[in-house]
Amino acid sequence: MPEEKFWKITEFAQKISKDMQDKLNDSKGVHYNTVDKWFKNLESKGIHYVNRVAGEKVYDELDLKIGHIIFERRRANWSLDAIFEALPNILELRPMNHEGSSDESQVMTESQMFAQLKKDFGSEMVKFRESILQEAERLVEEKTQVIKNQLPEPENKEQKRKAKRDDFVTNMRLSMQLDKEAAEAWSKQPESVRMKKAGWFRKEEDLLAREQFIRDYKIANMSRIVREAYDDDNNK
């Protein structure tokens, strides 16, 4: 059995307007003040009674059917008196509450009303919670992607080993080239620099001076030879 729905006057008038706009395929509606007058007249004439919750009118599905009928017949230029006279022949209306039965009726209606409000409120909370979770998941995903984009590409172990081998070979080649250049530069130094006395009548190469010369040469020319090697690689 579907759960009965309830409306307050503003929402009730909007519901009537929307239902009739959909049915009649036009944009005409009805103001809640007009709807309120319809049902006040019904009550004043003893034709139909609107339920109350804590003293406030609460409209239900039966009231909605009545609202539809009044709206359509007013569109067809029926007078309100004629509509009110016809209503008991169309629907089983709700009579005026009598002493002794009103409290029970109001308690039952209030209980149903709170059940509906609880259901609607709970549904909105679930939707709100789901929307927050979805937004949080989206933000986490975006932040994670930003961090991933900022990280360097994972280095392949084989590529890393190859890079180390290439660096070692390059360093050895440059060191040997500098040794060769330094030896040639040393050989071009004057004899007074390269040789030292080894006795009264003999001279020999000054190995300590040679070693120091080569060391100084390599230090002085390391930047140059590295730059030349880099330029050669880029020009290949």
Q: What is the pLDDT of residues 189-217, one digit of tens each?
A: 898 888 888 777 788 888 888 888 888 88
Is 55 part of any domain? yes
- Whether 189 is covered by a domain: the verdict is yes
Cα–Cα distances in angstroms (integers) from residue 42 to residues 85, 97, 125, 172, in the given order: 10, 13, 38, 107
Domain boundary among 67, 100, 122: 122
Query: What CATH code is carried by the domain that includes residue 80?
Result: 1.10.1660
Question: How many whole angstroms separate alpha carbon 24 and alpha carbon 68?
Answer: 11
**Domain annotation covers residue 205:** yes
* Position 57 in a domain: yes
Residues 103 and 175 in one domain: no
Residue 46 lies in a domain: yes
Residue 142 lies in a domain: no
- Classify residue 93: in a domain, yes or no: yes
Place of tokens 């359509």: 72
Of 70-74, 102-106, 165-169, 191-195, minimum mean pLDDT range: 102-106
Does residue 98 lie within any of the structural domains?
Answer: yes
The predicted pLDDT at position 106 comes to 46
pLDDT (0 to 100) of residue 98 = 47
pLDDT at 42 over 60: yes
- Checking phi first, is residue 95 left (phi over 0); if not, alpha (psi -120 to 50) or beta? beta
Domain with 39, as residue range(s), is 9-122
CA distance linking residue 26 with residue 17, whole number of Å: 10
Q: Domain check: are 188 and 85 in the same one?
A: no
List pLDDT tens digits, range 18-38.
999 999 888 889 999 999 999
Domain co-membership, 114 together with 187: no
Residues 15 and 107 placed together within one structural domain of the fold: yes
Domain shared by 184 and 112, yes or no: no
The domain tally of the chain equals 2
115 and 161 both lie in a single domain: no
